[in-house]
Structure 1
Amino acid sequence: MKKKVHVIHHTHWDFEWYFTNHESFIQLTYHLDEVMNALETNMIDVYLLDGQLSILDEYLQSFPDQEERIKQLVTSGKLIIGPWYTQTDELIVAGESIVRNLDLGISLAEKLGGYFNVGYLPDSFGQGKDMPKIYNGFGMDKTVFWRGVPNYITEDREFFWSSEDGSEVLASNIKNGYFIGGGLIYSDDAQGLMKTIEEGAPTDQLVLPVGGDQRYVDYNLRERIELFNNELEDYELVESSYDTFFDSLDTTDLQHVSGEFISSSVSKIHRSIYSSRYDHKYMNDKIERRLIYQLEPLMLMAKKQGIPYKQGLLDRIWKLLSKNQAHDSAGGCNSDKTNKIILDRFIEADQLSYSAVDYLTRKLAESRAVVCENDLLLFNTLPYSRKKIEKIAISIESEYFNLEYNGEKIPYQLIRTTKENAGSIRKKSEDMDPNKFYFIHDILIDIEVPALSFVELTIIERNEPNETSLNVTDEMIENNYYQISLVNGDIELKDKKANIVYDQFISIEDSGDEGDTYDYSPPEEDKVYKLDFSNTKITTIKGKLQETLEIQGKWQLPKDLAARVTGEVLKEIKYVLTLSLESDSNYINGHLVIDNTVLDHRMRLLIKSNMSNKLSYSNTPFGTVEREVIDPYLDRWKELGWREEPTSIFPMLNYVNVHNDETNLTVFSKGIKEYQLVGDSFETVALTLFRSVGFLGRPDLIRRPGIASGNEFKYVPTPDSQLEKRLSFKFGIQLADYYDPSQLMKEFQQQVVTLPFYQIQELNRFTTTLKYFVSNPLLHDVVKQEMPTIELEKLNFSSIRQSRDGKGIEIRVYNPNLVESVSGSVIELPQATKWHFVNLKGDQLTEPRVNDKIEIGIVKPGEIKTIKLY
């Protein structure tokens, strides 16, 4: 019996790469003419348009007259589109970003006649362990991908892939790449091509994808299929689709595997791409947090007050972000001109999302029944009550003030006061009115705000001086949990609860980097610098709510790779490291700002754990991953023919944790996406702050021998990727009694999600851009509304937003535990409400109920649950 070869005619349309999206759009406008003509004239049977809608979305903005033509081809099953908006990265973007990406893609595709109901990601740099449950959540039970499967896990091309909650998809692993079918078009070695694609195939159904990057339609496809069929006795080639291929598979004896796939045993995986273009990754992280944890919930709060929920605005912002989360875009392995466009999209998304939060908080604040000058409102956009020390700025006429809540004084800590002129600006400062001025006070405030609500404070101006923080000369700060000291240029931490001292607790490592925007590679000759904090200027501030240690200094580093060989120290890097301790918190806040003036180097933040480690733990889009500190194949990867060195450099979303029975250390980040455990006993957590490199791809790297990644035929310089500019890094460190992954994400949300605030005042019209605009209050009074409140028992809150159909609210939670099912979590509702469980797509899973309390029930390890309220 002949083996059937399913020829999948497709294109892989990189959204952008060494070319810009604008440049490839020109190709697309003509490419789609060829595709549609070929399908309509029956020159080809079926065509897969790379599984993403972003390119069609942009095409139809310019050519809306082609929409009906595309619809006819989609509904007839000839043109296959979706399910993604862009082909996402799976490892360093938030789970809700992945959900929104599919949500956008599916919604657009359904308007055009339907979507490819397969998780199709042919070129993402690794497969995240949560993808099976995400796919199942959208009603998908199949996936197609290329990179990352370890050949020591399975060498099969088809297998079942599961998540820890029991979700499972049937996977087809295109081990030779989505372009392997070029051999059908350009080579007459039919038998050789068949040998390649059947290696590891567990059944007599084979896949041959014919396509490539921005590839044209192969008009001679049928001619080449006929030629091969005439030469082959044991194989039959047919024009096909992945749906047909999956339907033809006998799945009886297929293997079952689980986990993430980030191995270089078969394909390049670029395990250090997570630190390329850190500036972009920081922006992505910030905008994700604002959208998920602030803007979407705030729009629900505003809708409750009669302000329309702007789904179109959210979609616009999510589209910008999704474009930047396509695999190349997220990785940063692009030309400088492309990265500039990516940065512009980040800036646009940042301004839109920030301004939307600003508009809504102002509209709500100014629409209350009683609005008084110097009212100060703080908003909690998370569905649980939060007690938090928050940094805010107020503008008042007086240099001194109190804060009151319900008639009682509340504590605050003054950080700084700035005097600003309130009159018209003049060319000469002496011509300005000296009697027109106001003060801007930056303060810390200790406040508790109910779930999805706001509190109203009053600023009372007065004449007596404020209680101020103390600037002291010692080099130590402390609270109930820690004492942090600078001792002979080293940062020392004392854990008061455990009575343990960590010497050289925080340090910086700088090494050369002869790699490219895909991968770190150590130079042939290098000098690694362990940087301390000697010869510095120290500022210590001690207040009732927070103590801060600020260290200003300079490091001397070689200018470039050549200087590292000679040992010459030619460049000065200025830095400021700030460490802060809140009065009753075991969370250490860190903020490092550097002026990078050095080329071709990697800088890492080192945190000493004082324990030997064999495993590390990090959060994933909807769960937790446990990783071995050292790859068991590290010493044999070359003789085994692996594509890259399996260095234990790993991706992270928000934190990395190490723990044993006595100690539990977590390092959190806001935009830092890469870590490694280093040291003789792997006692040190190394976060890669950034890599500074000058080429998109380089050949013959120590960690990645052979041809260059990217374009193997041309060096593409990327001087902007050297990041010669000011860089800011925000991180946190926590020592705790025990390891609980749900508590770690709760701590992360508590620390990084700020409380938006608004002050009623007209002195300073430039607190935000929108403050200068006039704004009508609502035609009715804003009153506090009760909203759903989540009480989570070892679960994590993921999102709350309006459902896509506009008929309800969707609340999503998940269990981050690897092995433990949990129960006991509830959602308190303000009144009896109709609700039911839905999947990630929003499809109903259970019969509706009406209650004023939702018991979420048993949640399996890693399971996602979404509740829709009407």
Structure 2
Amino acid sequence: MHEPDVADPLAVVVPHTHWDREWYSPFETMRFALVQFLDELIEAMEKDPELPVFLLDGQAVILEDYTEIRRGHRNRLKALVEAGRLRPGPFYVQPDEFHVSGEALVRNLLIGCRVSREYGHVMREGYLPDTFGHVHQLPQILQGFGIDTFYAMRGFGDEVDATGTEFLWRAPDGSRVRAHWLAESYSNAAVLTGDPETLSLHHGVLVGYDRLAELLQRLQARSGTGVLLLLNGGDHLRVQEGVPAMVRSLDAAQKRDGGPRLRLGGLEEFHRLSAERPGPGSEISGELRHGRSHDVFDGIGSTRTPLKVLNENTEARLSGIAERLEACAALLDGRSQHDSLHYAWRELVKNYAHDSICGCSVDEVHQEMQVRFARIRQVADAVADDALARIAHTAASEPDTDPRRIPVVVVNPSAFPRGGTVTAEVLPDLGAPLGQRRFGWTQSEEGADWSGYALLGPDGRRIPFTVEPGTAVNVADTLDRRKEVYRDRIRFQAADVPALGSRVHHLVPAAQAPHQPTREASGTRRTARSLTNRWLSVEVAPDGTLAVTDLRTGRRSTGLCELLDDADAGDTYGHGPLPGDRPLSSRDANWSVEPGSEDDTLLARAVLALPAALTPERDARTGHTVDVPVTLLLRLPPAADRVEVDLTVDNRAEDHRLRLRIPTGVHTGESVAESAYGLVRRPAKAPACEGWRDQPTGAQALRRFVALEEAGAGLAVFTEGLHEYAHTDGHVLEVTLLRSVGWMARQDHPMRPHKVGPMLPTPDAQCPGQQHFRLALRPYAGTGHTVDLYRTAEEFALPLLTHAVQSSRPGPAPGAPPLGLAVAPASVVLSALKSAEDGDGVVVRVFNGSAEPVTASLVTAFPLASAVLCDLEEEPQHDTEPQAHRTLRFPLPAGRIQTVRLRPAPSGAAATESTVGR
């Protein structure tokens, strides 16, 4: 074939499919089609060597899904991948980016690259054709895996008028990728023919042409390089027969007519040819959440919120607790459960496909996701319990032959010192043979009388505690003859637990305790309608709203947590408001307030009368109402500077949206929200969007918190799995609790007159029954203190952990090093502590959450042999001299994500200080 001059326009035809693992059909139904698709593809490529490459949608999970069924075809599939003809990866699944953590995006790539390598090739191209918008840190995440390109259809606004289809996209730390906007969709050449006059495609409002020349003219008009991308595929499309011959025919016609030449290739070939020409002259930064030409569905953040709550809790238990504890325990005794955690992460990432975690699939998909979440939680809890026991037994390593003296170990999963209320399960049968093989044992009904006991802190002084008898029941000792045990729960205040370390308390007979007075706890004062500690006061108003006073500044915020309910004639892709609909307010309900079961809690109750559903015409709410009970459990922990709100809604209504209105009293034109590996500041004013396909609704995405702040004050809202907020009225934040809708995609959507998917019923998306939500409110000092919110978010998400040492297994690790790892300053945020992928040491990942460069400090309680700065794939960037040290310092530019591999020194090594250079 004639090689065109680099200045000549050239079109690369990339055969591909876009494979939604589950969407309008559940996974196994889609997998049945996947098996057919790959059967045909393998046969076609083996028979036709002129078909050089096929793009497998930028993901690797489909290789595993296929070979799990077609086990005998693995070698055939692997041979095509090794030859570079099938191109899997770099992602494991095509992800959503706004409703998962930044760490989850990294794990998606880690797993995707590893699976692709196992089959013989990793496609290092940032191909995300259908993801519903993109986070601001994605360029840095991609660069962390050696990927310097980005291809996407969705997320762009009017900036493309200036940039065209090729530009640079920059992350906060300066990392850049070469971006390519798929302006004519990822299906622009799906209907390929050998005749340029009959090739046509109509895909949405702005994608439509009736012949090849029209498509090429559109692409060339926006291209700065003249290298054009023709994507021969689409949603779940099989390989098109005869593509090589068609491309030869089209190329001959183009040569005859003087148009752009055509060749078959993949994204790597397109990348190489583009790189040979002058690079893009335009650069953009920030998140991509606009829908000028293609929908981004900003309403998916409030779709199936109970599922998103379940996800947030599951990932916190896996990444924040199980994985960190496993790494710590492995440092003590060398035993690793990393394989179990890797399995759990793989299952979790499967739930992060964009149609899955976003909630916009048929009900069967999300029912299956709940089963996956349950499996992941079982693995995470088993790993965490095992690691916690190993850590606790080592911490309480001094032998004590008196079973009445019970070490109660408190473990901190965070990289900064913490205190707070903890609950420990204690077995009252002090002679129980836990950790011993024993048949026929039954727990004694006579147990320890805790009223005759004292709890001693690490300093030996008494600490007040309360007891809940017989509240914990489980079956213990799976490997030493199962034992049915009943445990009591003791509750107390732990103080100054070291970062990723432990404190040992002792529950002892009172006669063995010192006679000095019990240490006074700084408690929470409760009245009939208020809670007060040393930092804050919260009061329940007669209308059910909250007033929070910051006792440090005297600033008072009122009217907080009003519930607003309005109609929703939309679908799983977004809210559908009705003209003239007026929200109903919880202020109009009758509220009662009573003491909670714990001293730092209050309980507020009301019953909301809400319209039962929409009318059959879907143009108004029915006049028939149903009772929707609502309960607010308020908690003001004694040592916390936040008010925690546990909200329960017994949802008996349909076709409605329920929001929490929070008038912060902080008047500002922008909100500050956590996103992947950093903060994003968003203006309250919506962008100009005349003629856009997807009109902005005001819905914005948050990870764990959102705040409004000005120079003197700020108020932050922390959530668990509630990812949608709005800020449109000066000082007011609105957080969506749930949207009840009954259709996957409506074609009569009030805000979206075009079709986005099949019109299938989804009754589970109405979110019926009792739904539980957790939030917290925290006033703070305003601009400059936003980085402190990361630590509050971690405290809210991850509890302090406890273990009462009452068994003979596992024993203390002989010669185990002390545990502890602190990260400073506060703007340096721990993202991961894990065993290294290859088992060699532990990996610490941090990021600079501020807009200013800092010097990061990692201080370990254990001596280190070496520390290596790595990329996100855990490949070394900068080695350090092997030496024993406990303090690492390295520069961390604004917004930078940094991975460090730590190798502990042998027990007994000396400790010195080292600075890690970049």
For normalisation by structure 2, the TM-score amounts to: 0.86
Tell me if the contact between 2:421 and 2:491 (Cα under 8 Å) persists in the aligned partners. Answer: no
User: 1:55-70, aligned counterparts within 5 Å?
Assistant: 55-70=62-77
User: 1:413-428, aligned counterparts within 5 Å?
Assistant: 414=466, 417-418=468-469
From 845, 848, 857, the equivalent of 1:812 is 845
Tell me if the contact between 1:555 and 1:574 (Cα under 8 Å) persists in the aligned partners. Answer: yes
In structure 1, the residue matched to 2:33 is 27
Counterpart residue type for residue 405 of structure 1: G
Give the superposition deviation at 1:829: 5.4
Give the superposition deviation at 1:242: 1.1
Alpha-carbon RMSD across the aligned residues, in angstroms, is 2.8
User: 1:434-449, aligned counterparts within 5 Å?
Assistant: 440-441=488-489, 443-449=491-497
User: 1:153-192, aligned counterparts within 5 Å?
Assistant: 154-185=162-193, 187=200, 189-192=211-214
Distance 1:437 1:141, change over 3 A: closer
1:532 counterpart = 2:539: no
Tell me if the contact between 2:471 and 2:489 (Cα under 8 Å) persists in the aligned partners. Answer: no
User: 1:163-312, aligned counterparts within 5 Å?
Assistant: 163-185=171-193, 187=200, 189-232=211-254, 233=257, 234-249=259-274, 250-306=277-333, 308-312=335-339
Looking at structure 2, the residues matched to 176 and 423 of structure 1 have their Cα atoms a distance apart, in angstroms, of 58
Looking at structure 2, the residues matched to 305 and 421 of structure 1 have their Cα atoms a distance apart, in angstroms, of 29
Looking at structure 1, the residues matched to 494 and 866 of structure 2 have their Cα atoms a distance apart, in angstroms, of 37
Tell me if the contact between 2:425 and 2:803 (Cα under 8 Å) persists in the aligned partners. Answer: no
User: 1:14-413, aligned counterparts within 5 Å?
Assistant: 14-41=20-47, 42-152=49-159, 154-185=162-193, 187=200, 189-232=211-254, 233=257, 234-249=259-274, 250-306=277-333, 308-365=335-392, 368=397, 370=399, 372=403, 374-396=406-428, 397=447, 398=449, 400=451, 401-406=453-458, 408-412=460-464
1:746 counterpart = 2:791: yes
Looking at structure 2, the residues matched to 189 and 49 of structure 1 have their Cα atoms a distance apart, in angstroms, of 26
In structure 2, the residue matched to 1:630 is 685
Give the superposition deviation at 1:824: 5.2
In structure 2, the residue matched to 1:431 is none
In structure 2, the residue matched to 1:477 is 531
Give the superposition deviation at 1:541: 5.3
Give the superposition deviation at 1:146: 1.3
In structure 1, the residue matched to 2:869 is 837
Unpaired segments of 5 or more residues in structure 2? 1-6, 194-198, 201-209, 429-446, 476-483, 904-918
Distance 1:245 1:407, change over 3 A: closer
Give the superposition deviation at 1:412: 4.1
Secondary structure at the aligned position of 1:561 is classed as: coil
| Stretch of structure 1 that moved more, 194-203 or 741-750 | 194-203
**Identity rate, percent:** 25
Report how many residues are paired.
831
Looking at structure 1, the residues matched to 888 and 407 of structure 2 have their Cα atoms a distance apart, in angstroms, of 38
In structure 1, the residue matched to 2:17 is 11
Tell me if the contact between 2:535 and 2:550 (Cα under 8 Å) persists in the aligned partners. Answer: yes
Secondary structure at the aligned position of 1:661 is classed as: coil
Tell me if the contact between 2:328 and 2:819 (Cα under 8 Å) persists in the aligned partners. Answer: no
Tell me if the contact between 1:600 and 1:692 (Cα under 8 Å) persists in the aligned partners. Answer: yes
Write the deviation string for residues 446-484 of structure 1: whole angstroms up to 9, x where unpaired: 3332233323222246699x9999997621211223222
Give the superposition deviation at 1:690: 1.2
1:658 counterpart = 2:738: no
Distance 1:607 1:399, change over 3 A: same
Tell me if the contact between 1:605 and 1:689 (Cα under 8 Å) persists in the aligned partners. Answer: yes
Write the deviation string for residues 36-91 of structure 1: whole angstroms up to 9, x where unpaired: 22222225121011111111122223334333322321222111111111111111
Tell me if the contact between 1:477 and 1:542 (Cα under 8 Å) persists in the aligned partners. Answer: no
Looking at structure 2, the residues matched to 849 and 170 of structure 1 have their Cα atoms a distance apart, in angstroms, of 35
Tell me if the contact between 2:524 and 2:533 (Cα under 8 Å) persists in the aligned partners. Answer: no
In structure 1, the residue matched to 2:762 is 718
In structure 2, the residue matched to 1:768 is none
Write the deviation string for residues 675-716 of structure 1: whole angstroms up to 9, x where unpaired: 11143xx21111111111100001232322222x222xxx20
In structure 1, the residue matched to 2:442 is none
Looking at structure 1, the residues matched to 462 and 727 of structure 2 have their Cα atoms a distance apart, in angstroms, of 43
Write the deviation string for residues 531-553 of structure 1: whole angstroms up to 9, x where unpaired: 1385233123598xx62221122
Write the deviation string for residues 158-217 of structure 1: whole angstroms up to 9, x where unpaired: 111111211011111112221121243463622222234334222211101111111101
Give the superposition deviation at 1:322: 0.3
In structure 2, the residue matched to 1:772 is none
Give the superposition deviation at 1:422: 9.8
Looking at structure 2, the residues matched to 779 and 629 of structure 1 have their Cα atoms a distance apart, in angstroms, of 56
In structure 1, the residue matched to 2:724 is 674
Counterpart residue type for residue 457 of structure 1: H
Looking at structure 2, the residues matched to 420 and 295 of structure 1 have their Cα atoms a distance apart, in angstroms, of 24
Counterpart residue type for residue 294 of structure 2: S
Counterpart residue type for residue 856 of structure 1: R
Distance 1:407 1:191, change over 3 A: closer
Looking at structure 2, the residues matched to 453 and 514 of structure 1 have their Cα atoms a distance apart, in angstroms, of 51
Tell me if the contact between 1:810 and 1:868 (Cα under 8 Å) persists in the aligned partners. Answer: yes
Secondary structure at the aligned position of 2:192 is classed as: helix
Secondary structure at the aligned position of 2:216 is classed as: helix
Tell me if the contact between 1:267 and 1:643 (Cα under 8 Å) persists in the aligned partners. Answer: yes
Looking at structure 1, the residues matched to 485 and 819 of structure 2 have their Cα atoms a distance apart, in angstroms, of 40
Tell me if the contact between 1:471 and 1:541 (Cα under 8 Å) persists in the aligned partners. Answer: no
Write the deviation string for residues 77-124 of structure 1: whole angstroms up to 9, x where unpaired: 111111111111111211111111110111111121120011111111
1:866 counterpart = 2:899: yes
Distance 1:231 1:5, change over 3 A: same
Looking at structure 1, the residues matched to 253 and 310 of structure 2 have their Cα atoms a distance apart, in angstroms, of 55
1:559 counterpart = 2:612: yes
For normalisation by structure 1, the TM-score amounts to: 0.90
Looking at structure 2, the residues matched to 795 and 362 of structure 1 have their Cα atoms a distance apart, in angstroms, of 29
Distance 1:387 1:10, change over 3 A: same
| Stretch of structure 1 that moved more, 800-809 or 733-742 | 733-742
Secondary structure at the aligned position of 1:175 is classed as: coil
In structure 2, the residue matched to 1:575 is 630
Looking at structure 2, the residues matched to 439 and 351 of structure 1 have their Cα atoms a distance apart, in angstroms, of 20
Counterpart residue type for residue 680 of structure 2: V
Looking at structure 1, the residues matched to 776 and 794 of structure 2 have their Cα atoms a distance apart, in angstroms, of 12
Looking at structure 1, the residues matched to 782 and 526 of structure 2 have their Cα atoms a distance apart, in angstroms, of 35
Distance 1:855 1:421, change over 3 A: closer
From 657, 661, 669, the equivalent of 1:606 is 661
Looking at structure 1, the residues matched to 597 and 374 of structure 2 have their Cα atoms a distance apart, in angstroms, of 36
